[in-house]
Structure 1
């Protein structure tokens, strides 16, 4: 088998997944509608009991209270069973994806062992070396242009102001995230049986709206905060130069340099989401490959 044959086989294997997923998702949607109808019914029964107690007091027994309570419990058990069926169908979709992914990974490993496909690790090593050489050359050129065009005595002050502004922008964004999360409240349930589910729904909503995907360390603004501080002489980036121009922070936990000049990492604008420097990307790729093989 060669890489093209593996590719064609994989495409053929997953060609029917769309239809299968569409069917399973339709089934899950129908189950959701059934659960909604059940919840609406037993919540109405519960509301009738609560309303009777408010009007007549708790000492007077609600007519057919035992029968209504049993009916509510039965419908809640049915809803619970339907939820289990939903989970099973969702797991079926996950299983199908995992099965095809493992088959593809096994085929890739066989091609690597036969020498028909370059291992990902070696390919990344080559790409990282090329990228690093280009980054260092770009940084040297940028530094020369900056020295030729920047008036003496202004570089340190402007650089420090920019870095201070970046830190303030990052802090403000973090505060905004925490405020948004605190403002999200679970919707009020129709009856007393929906409290726990509402709280869980609010938590999921905060994830759906993308509040956890913002990488504040990589977002820079053009604000100007005129604080007077001493010149920052710390060396950053692959080029081991001081801070200047636009810089980006690496999200790697053990990054050696932490901050990088845009020109040194071939960036023209702030990256979206988490960003890793070439060294950290290489380290992540190695760890991922080790986990797959183990």
Structure 2
């Protein structure tokens, strides 16, 4: 199958309190191949998270459609699991119970022993074997995000969706979790779509980076191919000429979009005086 996720003609418009409308996304077309890791990058307000929410089924497009593995996305489903920046863990449940909540809900057809093995396997995979009885208040930010990742992976989704999953973490923890996520996705051939503001994170994890222009009516400017072979090691690829070329291209795009935003803000200031 050449396309696992198909995003076609997506537009998203929000109605404002004064009756006007805000067009966030316009004419978004994107195909994602099986086992591919795709990142969305662009300035705040360009609709990255909105697009991710539409793919997740948490929001509906004004126009267009999304298909995952040939199935039309109409609502949230266990075939698409989201990992948020804020972890979204229930504070009164232990690490084990937070993961079990999702597994027991989705995997009802499996025996109790099979569900137990799924939970144990995924917690061990993210390095939380010794923290299963701890509650979120007893965990560091990095450990909480590991729980969220284990919960998402344990129900074996067709598509893993990540909304700035490491944005709130310190540099060292973020680097360690990036390496773990990369290993897990590659080993299990997981298809993933991630929103990030971090250029280096996008280049390290992704097969392709989708660059979104500023809103309103944000569109895809270009899609950058990142063809470094796996396994990838930051210390190796970051020293390469190719890496610096790709990074320069991403930074140049973001800088250009920032300039456009600044010029537009100045025009808004000037226009009332010119009328």
Bigger relative contact order, structure 1 or 2 (CA pairs below 8 A, ≥6 apart): 2
Larger radius of gyration: 1
TM range (shorter): under 0.3
Larger strand proportion of the pair: 2
Larger helix share, 1 or 2: 1
TM-score for both structures, normalised by structure 1? 0.19
TM-score when scaled to structure 2? 0.20
